[in-house]
Structure 1
Amino acid sequence: MDKLETMKAFLAVVEEGSFAKAAKKLNVSPQLVSKYISALEDKLHSRLLQRTTRKVSLTEAGTKYFLRCQQVILDIDEMEGELANLHQHVSGTLTISAPASFGVKHLPKLLVDFQKAFPDVKINLKLTDVKIDLVEEGIDIALRAGKLKSSSLIAKKIAPIKMVIFASPEYLEINGTPKTPQELHDHTYLSYSYSAESMLFSQFGEGVKELKLNEKLTVNNGDALVNAAIHGGGIAIQPIFIAGEALANGQLLPILQGFEPEPLGLYLVYANRQFLPRKVRVFIDFSSDYYGDTPYWDASYQ
């Protein structure tokens, strides 16, 4: 049985939510889709899907396989797309959504360089930290930072995102420097609206996981948190791509080094792989290796 066809059938079942809808999408019979999935589970010796009369859901093994399958199929499509689009003209308006801080600090150069390579592509950039519905908002492609949950969206990681914990020299002089995450409960914490910071330390044991933080300021933008920390407002956790400049010039000092959350990822996210417009395909290809395994913002901080 063809491995790629089996993987595509599995992806279709997950993305469509049922065997019947997956069969319709692939233009095959539901019986064939069921045969593909059964053969795949037998080969892997793992149950990938939980089946009920009302819905299909992923098991833990299925979630891991789904994410890897997405990347494999995406890489194959990209390779074919690069060859197919090598000499084709690219034009139109590309609508992109990106996190506000990253969009201001690090995205403009990529967009300018992209338009130098593809001058007939117009770009409509929308900056927001809210994870909006791409189809409903008419977004061709979004940049998202974090740990992505499995979904019908296609995601490609283009850069790692390292986190750093910091405060201003003045704040630390007055309030002392915490040596362990548990000591944060004695400090003022600057909180980012779209994350549960207390959970960022969960890898260091249950005592830390249940940490109660003194959150006196909550903001939905990373730059605002960094500026509040510079002015002595408290302790915060943010990506190096936001806080790196202030750390480099001494306005902020890193603390709790060795207790930083695990690195996140910067992803390109889009709604559908099938019949992907050339303007989206070439942007994915152009952006994939733009920042590299060690982005310049991390290299300059180190």
Structure 2
Amino acid sequence: MDRIDAMRAFVAVVTEGSFSNAANTLQLSPQLVSKYVSKLEEQLNIRLLNRTTRKVSLTEAGSHYFGHAQQILLNIDDMESQLGGLQQNPKGVLRISAPVSFALKHMAKLITDFQMRYPLVTVDLQLTDRKVDIVEEGFDVALRIGQLKNSSLIAKKVAPIRVVLCAAPEYLNKHGTPTQPKDLEHHRYLHYSYMNMDSKDNIHQLLKAKYLKQGSEFRSNNGDVLVEAAIAGAGLVLQPTFIISEAISSGKLVVVLPEIEPEALGLYAVYAHRKLLPHKVRCFIDFMEGYYGTPPYWDESIP
């Protein structure tokens, strides 16, 4: 027996003055209302109502229980009303984890536009290129870039992510422009620490072989630093276009070997549960869908 349902039946009987009136109010049969109250008395091991053929009246214990039960039900109804309001007008703190470079370049306007639409949502955006544990670390949603493997988490693709190999014109004038993959062996490579070299793309395999054979003269866990180093003439860099597109558009960097461009990755919104998803999370995920365009705006100037 559901204790709350039984409590509602008892309060309705007292308020309405009879089992039949309570049954009409609750849209239940009089027999079921009577059963609820009897079971409640059994569980409490005390009589709550005096019953006669004409009327019901509260016992002393019943009068005491009625006041408390009425307050409990009011609190429950108030809580449910507030939760319903959250579903209609999302509010509260939305904790998001996102990659450093992507967030710095492309999330400030997204968050601003999102909060203009949903002004009651407070956003706590934490930047890290580390793969966070969403549940353990208390994040509502994480943005991840890559080719996601099977997981217990739910992932929704937000945008494709192109990755291109580039170098500065001055570097290429000095060291030569690679015209075929094997030419990469003679060039300096700027290595991103989190790059997945297990990919089957030719360019990844070539760079992996070079890296294992000679080591990398410069490696970093931040793509922006590597791109700036490439602009300064330090060597070849393989980075996503959301970081590197401005440098390509301005002529500071040139795409090398576009014919072996790696398979596109994806930007994903990752969250823990599909069912009973908090409305603030659902609104954010839906808001992100299509926000960056197809193709994403940072790719519009890149062939």
1:93: which partner in 2? Answer: 93
What whole-Å deviation, never above 9, does each CA across 1:77-121 have from its counterpart, x for those lacking one?
Answer: xxxxxxx99980110000001100000001111111100000000
**Runs (5+) with no aligned partner, structure 1:** 1-83
1:211 alignment partner AA:
A
1:271 Cα deviation after fit: 1.3
1:145: which partner in 2? Answer: 145
**Aligned CA distance change for structure 1 residues 266 and 174 (closer, same or farther; 3 Å):** same
Matches within 5 A, 1:1-302: 88-197=88-197, 199-200=198-199, 202-204=200-202, 208=206, 211-213=209-211, 214=214, 215-302=216-303
Give the 4+ runs in structure 1 shifted more than 3 A. 84-87, 202-210
2:210 alignment partner AA:
K
**Runs (5+) with no aligned partner, structure 2:** 1-83
Say whether the 8 Å CA contact 2:247–2:253 is kept in structure 1: yes
Q: Distance in 2 between matches of 1:276 and 1:155?
A: 13
2:32: which partner in 1? Answer: none
Rg: which structure is higher? 2
Q: TM-score, normalization: structure 1?
A: 0.68
Pairs aligned (count): 217
**Aligned CA distance change for structure 1 residues 262 and 205 (closer, same or farther; 3 Å):** closer
1:144 Cα deviation after fit: 0.6
**Aligned CA distance change for structure 1 residues 207 and 115 (closer, same or farther; 3 Å):** closer
**Aligned CA distance change for structure 1 residues 210 and 284 (closer, same or farther; 3 Å):** closer
Q: Distance in 1 between matches of 2:169 and 2:276?
A: 53
Q: Distance in 2 between matches of 1:143 and 1:134?
A: 11
Q: Distance in 1 between matches of 2:204 and 2:270?
A: 33
Q: Distance in 1 between matches of 2:203 and 2:119?
A: 52
Q: TM-score, normalization: structure 2?
A: 0.67
Q: Percent of aligned positions with the same letter in both sequences?
A: 52
For residue 96 of structure 1, give the secondary structure of its aligned residue in structure 2: strand
Q: Distance in 1 between matches of 2:228 and 2:144?
A: 22
**Aligned CA distance change for structure 1 residues 98 and 205 (closer, same or farther; 3 Å):** closer
